[in-house]
Amino acid sequence: MSKSDAELVRDMFYRQANAKEYSYFDLPGYSEWAARKLKEGVGPEILGHMECFTLIMLPDEAAAANDAYFDEALEDVMAGLDLGDPADVGDCTRSV
**What pLDDT is stored for residue 85 in this prediction?**
63
Q: Could you tell me which residues come within 8 angstroms of residue 87 by beta carbon, excluding any fewer than 6 positions away?
A: none
- Does residue 88 or residue 26 have the better pLDDT? 26
pTM: 0.76
Q: Where are the domains of the chain?
A: 20-88
Residue 31 — pLDDT band, cuts 50, 70, 90?
Answer: very high
Q: In the predicted model, what is the mean pLDDT of residues 29-41?
A: 96
Q: What is the pLDDT of residues 36-81, one digit of tens each?
A: 999 999 999 999 999 999 999 999 999 999 999 999 999 999 998 8
**What pLDDT is stored for residue 82 in this prediction?**
85
